[in-house]
Chain A
Amino acid sequence: MSAKLTTTRLLSRTLRGALAASHHTGRRSIASLTRAPHSIRPLANPASKFNNPQTRMLASAADIKEYTVRDALNEALAEELEADSKVFILGEEVALYNGAYKVTKGLLDRFGPDRVIDTPITESGFAGLAVGAALAGLKPITEFMTWNFAMQAIDQIINSAAKTHYMSGGIQPCNITFRGPNGFAAGVAAQHSQDYTAWYGSIPGLKVVSPWSSEDAKGLLKAAIRDPNPVVVLENELLYGQSFPMSAAAQKDDFVIPFGKAKIERVGKDITLVSLSRCVGQCLTAAEKLKAEYGVEAEVINLRSIKPMDVEAIVKSVKKTGNLIAVESGFPSFGVSSEILALSMEYMFDYLDSPAQRITGAEVPTPYAQGLEAMSFPDEDLIFRKAAQLLRV
């Protein structure tokens, strides 16, 4: 799968719009904030040819390739299918249709219908079937067209997959990967716009990861497939078409990212922004704006792994900055940020100079109208303003 996918062409019209929006949101909102677009500074690395502040910069341009998240996921799948004959992928439209979001493009041609399997639209059934295959020793990758549909199958994920190892006293492992796009997309309204991170993150026996960049996507998905436990991979539809640089190391087929380790995406000393998935990019944009406007250096932590969560990285950062905001797009109650704030009370109370804060999705079923939808989820402007307010700058 070395050929670049012309992803935009493959997407539906609706999705293309969403993709375009996600590419440019950062810049637009910064512009509206500052009234001085030129004040956006390029990130620390002058060698970078990328001007999008949501895009991660790397130290060396040598051997770096630009990958969309979709390509990174596709490469991860292809490499793991290649490496282990017990790995197979099943889900709705993964084979002949090349994936509803084209993540599995080309896999059917390469690995055949025995290993790249179109299922009927029966989430509960095929999730259960995949769990059974895993119990019997295979390593299934189960694609949900979106995690919204996986609610039909959540019993199989939790009761059949996550709990069996413990219930059996450790004699029955279940090596399975569940993946698909999570969180809100653009203009798809309430039933297709939910973030399930907190749901799965609360279940002992599961591991849960949520990639942001292309490197995250590839490294975490490969680690998920190799991990002997049930792993939930929460991707983001709005990120699929977004490009990120991939280091030479990440392009290799042995690249995996260990679970439970967060990544400091931006080093800072004044405030810690802990985030995951698409909100990481928004935090980076807001951080640049904070720097530009107030000279504030925000540290941005990309959690990568939700369960287990790298609490140590957050504590270390808060020790340094004294301020903490958790940023995510799930519903506020009992969510990922709630968990991070609870942890801050237990492990970071003494280091905090201000009460830890959270920025989340609003407590509403996602509305369809664009303006209302925008009010339902965090954006760069909101993160910027909240941080500034907390720091009283």
Chain B
Amino acid sequence: MPSSLTKWLGRRFFRVFGGRSSNTNNLTGAQQIKSHVSAAPPPLPIESNYVNPSSTSNVNNSLVIPRRPHRRLPQSLLRIQKSIADLLPSNLLSFFRLRRSLPLPDITMLASQSRKAALNAFRSSSRKPLAALSVRSISVDATASQDAQAPEDPNTPFTIKLLSQSFDAFNIEAPSLDFVTTKNELIDMYKAMASVRRMEFAADRLYKERKIRGFCHLSVGQEAVAVGMEKAITPDDQIITSYRCHGFAYMRGASVKSIIAELLGRREGIAYGKGGSMHMFAKSFYGGNGIVGAQVPVGAGIGFAMKYLGRPNVTFALYGDGAANQGQVFEAFNMAKLWNIPVVFGCENNKYGMGTSAARSSALTEYHQRGQYIPGLKVNGMDVLAVKQACAWAKEYTTSGKGPLVMEFVTYRYGGHSMSDPGTSYRTREEVTWMRTNQDAIAGLRTRLLDWGVVTEEGLKELDKGVKDTIDPEVAAAEVAEVPENSRKVLFEDIYTRGSEPDWLRGRTAEETYYYKEE
């Protein structure tokens, strides 16, 4: 890398992020990983790659991605990438294939020309403004945790130092960076993330085979949030989320078969085929809600109930960066703080509300600061360890009578908003590929499991095989599950609590009226 660029990057970094980081190294993503593998100086937060050529102009928070950040990937990571690729269905691979249709300002251009020239090139691109990523003040590097050595015994706790940029706290002291874990827990988390991804890939395939109807929102890329959160709480803690809910439903205890069967509209689906992709409920899991933002006050109400009943449980009310602008989100903030409700408002910031980037929708993209009078924490949502650490800390905080928290999980979805969205009109394929290649939560944890000596290469293969052997048969079973009987009895069941139904409800005609008592 030309040294002029290095200097420039460094200046940009400190102009944007002020004194937040004490790290003065300026490395590419590849160098970070390398530095990490060789236990060189602590890796730089990812912002070093987020060159913002426009911060001196009126265009805010745009992103330039280096074209070949993986040029110098270490062999071990390349192997892992390949094995991840092996897990992908071929259609998904083609989905993410690199396509250079957008003249991004090249990193070399930045080095050799003035910033102004780069900006002009950027502006002249066919897509204006470029799908902009909000500048992130924390790391989203999934492989960022520092070296540690796992003990022999799988249940003996040991400490991992999280990357110093794992959290960004707002009006509160951030959680400890000392992450205490065991080999078994790490393996569990890995398996859970891999399982969610494998399940989502199955949904992807089934949708493309036209077996899944309607909407289908996948969480590929965001697995660390659902997994890290679940691992931090108990089954009596509460979660409510938006329509991107499959991973949460699975983590809350729903079987893969029941989730996939629901997507397929089968009687054995988790909601008996009545809810579909967006509406899945389980114990202490309240969906699966299709109206953007509406689940946030509902989540505050679940938290209210916990407090009312004197239960020591936290409620996570999750929403996306798009929903964060809904008025009722702020109504919920207000009441939660007013009444000290033990609720965590969790914004899963995957950077795009449908096709509108955070910077194009939100006046303040620091979503963890949007509680204003509520303390906030931004979390690296691509690092499952950081997510777990933060959620455990949030549970402790909220359930000790201190009131609500606003959390932001910085994450990324690899697929489109829903299956009908190729996800490329508002962002570049380079961006997606870059995130997948360099910041994937699962690949990152894989690397670390090897680094820490938690598993061997062989062990990882076993784990992957285990995930495949667990998920695939459940998917297959869901595919052959029966559809609901096309009867009025099934059609009209469960509109009201059983036993409290009206005498009858009308069908399409008077003759099709359904009588609860007679039939």
Contacts and interface: CB of A to CB of B under 8 A. Distances in A.
Interface of A: 88, 114, 117, 119-120, 122, 124-138, 140, 155-156, 159-160, 164-173, 204-205, 207, 227-229, 259-260, 307-308, 346-347
B502 interface: yes
A169 B498 CA distance: 11
A226 to B, nearest CB: 10
Contacts of A88: 308
Contacts, number: 161
Given A120-B334, A138-B308, A160-B294, A130 B274 contact: no
Contacts of A140: 301
Contact of B286 (A125, A172, A259, A260): A172
B497 A173 contact: yes
B510 interface: yes
Interface stretch (B174-182, B217-225, B265-273, B475-483): B265-273
Contacts of A165: 494-497
10 contacts: A88-B308, A119-B335, A122-B331, A130-B301, A136-B286, A136-B304, A137-B309, A160-B295, A168-B281, A169-B270
Interface of B: 238, 240, 269-275, 279, 281, 286-291, 294-306, 308-309, 327-328, 331-332, 334-335, 338-339, 493-498, 500, 502-505, 510
Contact of B335 (A126, A164, A207, A307): A126
Contacts of B273: 169
Contact of B298 (A120, A131, A207): A131
Nearest to B296: A128
A128 B294 contact: yes
B497 A228 contact: yes
A120 B338 contact: yes
Contact of A167 (B271, B296, B303, B335): B271
A170 B495 CA distance: 8
A135 B331 contact: no
Contacts of A156: 294, 297-298
A160 B281 contact: no
A125 B335 CA distance: 8
A393 to B, nearest CB: 33
A229 B302 contact: no
A168 B282 CA distance: 9
Contacts of B335: 119-120, 122, 125-126, 129
Contact of B334 (A122, A159, A347): A122
Contacts of B270: 169
In the A-B complex, list the 7 residue pairs whose CB atoms are closest, starting with the nearest: A132-B301, A125-B331, A128-B297, A308-B502, A170-B494, A136-B305, A169-B272
Contacts of A168: 271, 274-275, 279, 281, 287, 494
Contacts of B291: 155, 159-160
Nearest to A170: B494
B297 A129 contact: yes
Contact of A260 (B271, B327, B502): B502
Nearest to B273: A169
A166 B269 CA distance: 13
A254 to B, nearest CB: 18
Given A169-B494, A228-B500, A132 B331 contact: no
Nearest to B332: A125
